Amino acid sequence: MNNFVYAADTNYNKQLFYSINSLLNNTDTNLNLHIIHKEPETFEQYITKLQNIFNNFSINLYKFDFKDIQFPNIENKHVSEATYYRLFIENIIPKDIDNYIYLDADIIAINNFDEYVNEIISKLNDSNFTIACRTEYVYNNKKAVFFENLEMSSSKYFNAGVMFVNHKKWISNNTGGLLLKRLDELKDKLNYWDQDVLNSFFDGEYVELNDAINYPLNLRWPVPFEEIEEDKLFIHYQSNNKPWNIRGCFNEGSKFYQNVALSSEKKYHLVKTVRRYDLYFLIVKTLKLKFRNIDKKVNFYKEAFKTIFF
């Protein structure tokens, strides 16, 4: 049984629900899910919904209850303190777990991932590394200061939205404690939050994932929808233009997320940003005929008007 770990707060309950829904729809095995949550009682209704749909999982809900922790660089950002919760994982989930896959709550599974996940877990266990991730950047002159600020000597920086972890190695190496020490050392230099801390600490020492298991999707640009639909396993929505925003829904790539919402709750999931911006993008994208990328147009516009005006 593969273990998956999430960290979230109330603002991401829906996204987390849809992410889990997509996982359970794309596996032939039973999954053991671990959710670290600031207010776990708010997610219990979604667990009930999942139990009414699926029977191939167990779920463990943990309250993040560490006091007097300062989480740097989250004020007025599109992330919350939950992004840092993974640094405490070894003190939260059971220590007898051998391996787990950490997922950001905006990850959507679109194809069966069992074979590749098992392949990576085996490769990770046979290696000297503790984690497996997909490289996001490589060192170049434009990135020099970025790498220097994180005190990195390697030439690659990974995306931590999908991270395979050998939990036994993590614990035996006191990784959690060392990461918290690194967090304190770098607190004034962090741009990408816990991901920067993890990269500074592991410094290029990880098993490489291919982009199928952590495919970066930026809804600011057109996407190769059919290629993604056929070849990729996990979609990772990057940037602050998300598939649950009105602006993002006009990009065909939002379908991977919204199709889960439609199948599970029969309506688009939309979150208000700023009313005037939401209304602006609704009008402009409509006038540009971008609504052709939306499958259920009446459903979408109904939810869009409710989101903007109510």
Distance CA 293, CA 222 (A): 11
Residue 34 has pLDDT above 70, yes or no: yes
- Both structure tokens of 242: 């998300």
Q: List pLDDT tens digits, range 36-88.
A: 999 999 999 999 999 999 999 999 999 998 876 666 655 655 556 787 898 99
Closest CA to 237 of 158, 163, 161: 161
CB environment 210-233: b (16+ within 10 A), e (fewer): eeebbbebebeeebeeeebeeebb
CB atoms under 10 Å from CB of 81, counted, come to 17
Distance (Å, rounded) from C-alpha 190 to C-alpha 182?
11
Residue-wise DSSP of 150-202:
TT--SSEEEEEEEEEEEHHHHHHTTHHHHHHHHHHHHTTT-SSHHHHHHHHHH
Spell out the domains of the chain, with CATH numbers in brackets.
Answer: 2-208 (3.90.550.10), 215-309 (no CATH)
The mean pLDDT value for 255-279 works out to: 97
- Residue pLDDT, tens place only, 197-255: 999 999 999 999 999 999 999 999 999 999 999 999 999 998 889 999 999 999 999 99
What percentage of residues in the chain have a pLDDT greater than 70? 96
**Global confidence as pTM:** 0.94
Count the residues in the chain: 310
